[in-house]
Structure 1
Amino acid sequence: MHPTDLVSAWVEAFNRGDADALAALYHDDAVNHQVANEPVIGRANIHAMFAKEFAAADMTCIVEAIHDAGEVVALEWRDPNGLRGCGFFTIRDGKIAFQRGYWDKLSFLKLHNLPIA
């Protein structure tokens, strides 16, 4: 699967709230680092992170742009509430090896009436 197709599949699984399908897109030892949080290491932990997040909030990723730079793909996104962010996916052997995301955590927590730590 081409790296941009993999990121498109990630968006589709994310918008379905499908933690199983998302986890299947990652290497066993992948790292997901949303910079507002500590890095999550390993497919099983990434699965648990998504499952927990989908249970806590209704999230939608609307693609604004996908930029292909070979093994790194940048995703610019927004959600229906006006939040915006971007993610960088490093793809190796057809799976996500590393993901880093930038977004406004405080605005996200307030919009979803979640506790602010």
Structure 2
Amino acid sequence: MKPKELVELWVKAFNEGDADKIAKLYSEEAINHQVANEPVEGKAAIRNMFAEEFANAEMVCITENIFQDGNWAILEWKDPIGLRGCGFFKIENDLIVFQRGYWDKLSFLKAHNLPIPE
């Protein structure tokens, strides 16, 4: 599977709010580093992160672009409330081994009426 196709599956699972389905796209040793947060290491921890996030906020990922370069895919996204971001996915053996995401955490927390850390 091409990296771009895997990211398309990731977007679908994300929009379904299905932590189990999205976790299946990661390797056992994967790292998900949303730069506004500490890195999350391991498939089980990534699954738990998504389960918690899906429980805390209704999130929608609208794909603007997906680019592919070798075993990397780059996702540019927006959501219905105006937030924007991008994600970088390194793919090996048809699984995500590393993901890094860039987005404005403060705007996200305010938009979803979530607590803002001190």
State the 1:2 CA deviation: 1.4
The corresponding residue for 2:4 is 4
Query: Equivalent residue of 1:50, what SS?
Result: helix
Residues 1:50 and 2:50 are matched in the alignment = yes
The corresponding residue for 2:88 is 88
1:41-69: CA deviations, max 9, x gaps? 00000000000000000000000000010
The corresponding residue for 1:59 is 59
Identity of paired residues, percent?
Answer: 64
The corresponding residue for 1:28 is 28
2: CA distance, partners of 1:70 / 1:52? 32
Equivalent residue letter for 1:25: L
2: CA distance, partners of 1:68 / 1:30? 19
Query: Equivalent residue of 1:81, what SS?
Result: coil
The corresponding residue for 1:102 is 102
1:40-98: CA deviations, max 9, x gaps? 00000000000000000000000000001010100000000000000000000100000
The corresponding residue for 1:71 is 71
User: Which TM-score applies when normalising by structure 2?
Assistant: 0.98
Question: What are the ranges of 5 or more consecutive residues in structure 2 without an aligned counterpart?
Answer: none
State the 1:3 CA deviation: 1.0
User: Which TM-score applies when normalising by structure 1?
Assistant: 0.99
2: CA distance, partners of 1:66 / 1:30? 21
Count of paired positions? 117
RMSD between superposed Cα atoms in Å: 0.4
Equivalent residue letter for 1:57: A
1: CA distance, partners of 2:3 / 2:38? 25
The corresponding residue for 2:115 is 115
